[in-house]
Amino acid sequence: MKIDFSHLTQILQRFKAKPYKIYPVLTPHTGKIIEFKIKEGEEVRGPSGKWLEKPGTPLFILEREKNPKLIRAQYNGIAQNIRTDLLNRFVEAGEKVLEIKHPLSQEEIISEVLLNALLVIRAPETARYILSPELGKRLEKEGLGKVSVKEGDELLIMTFMKRETPIFLKERGTYIIYQIYFKPFELVQAGEPLLGLCPVEDLPHLEKIIQRIKAEWSL
């Protein structure tokens, strides 16, 4: 385990100073923004419900080829820096339309801190990734923190240079899939985290760290 408690305190201090994250909302493709559904400073919600079955707050409508598409919030937070000047204008793909100032929840702090504690599988290339189908199924069924993998298991599939390349676990031992840091089919920059794994034997220590974060963060 790569983290001790003094280090942990430092990291937590950093988050306490800035307990939020800013997510840009980009246009997924070209088109015309025909309506804004929110105003500056309004609260928005990401997908919710037990199965995330309730979609997020509508943000704006992007119309392209006569298909008005409702773009919804993916995170909870406050809508800010809304580019109302883009209304009724043709926008390119990947244009920033607004930001969501997202207050970090205890869970997310844990997830961020764990980047320093877990065995993190990082993107070997700037590419698109999905979980290996088998692992995906197991995770869907059992959930994070339950599924174990061992050396040689297929973890992810990378779509790169028009080829699908499987990514295997190279480390020895048995690990628990603890965190997922990417969204399927989205472009991940090389070096960005994909998965966080915890060696089975370190699980108790990890639980302690999490307890500690929980205690500190609720203060």
Quick one: which of 108, 147, 160, 173 contacts another protein (CB under 8 A)? 160
Quick one: which of 21, 29, 45, 138 contacts another protein (CB under 8 A)? 29
Quick one: which of 35, 112, 125, 153 contacts another protein (CB under 8 A)? 125
Does 24 bind another protein (CB under 8 A)? Our answer is no
Quick one: which of 6, 10, 18, 65 contacts another protein (CB under 8 A)? 65
Q: Which is nearer to another protein, 126 or 211 (CB)?
A: 126
3 state SS of 196: strand
Q: Which stretch binds another protein (CB under 8 A): 2-10, 48-56, 107-115, 170-178?
A: 48-56
Quick one: which of 92, 134, 142, 171 contacts another protein (CB under 8 A)? 92
115: number of Cβ within 10 Å: 14
The C-alpha atoms of residue 195 and residue 121 are separated, in whole angstroms, by: 5
Q: To which residue do tokens 């028009």 refer?
A: 162
Does 50 bind another protein (CB under 8 A)? Our answer is yes
Nearest to 187 by CA among 146, 129, 139: 129
Token pair recorded at residue 103: 């207050």
Does 94 bind another protein (CB under 8 A)? Our answer is yes
What is the separation of C-alpha 149 from the centre of its chain, rounded to a whole number of angstroms? 21
Q: Which is nearer to another protein, 19 or 184 (CB)?
A: 184
Quick one: which of 90, 106, 142, 201 contacts another protein (CB under 8 A)? 90
Nearest to 127 by CA among 161, 95, 168, 170: 161
The most distant pair of C-alpha atoms in the chain lies apart, rounded to whole Å, by 57
The C-alpha atoms of residue 53 and residue 6 are separated, in whole angstroms, by: 40
Using CB under 8 A as the criterion, which residues of the chain lie in contact with another protein when the complex forms? 28-31, 50-51, 53, 64-67, 69, 90, 92-95, 124-127, 160-163, 184-185, 187, 190-191
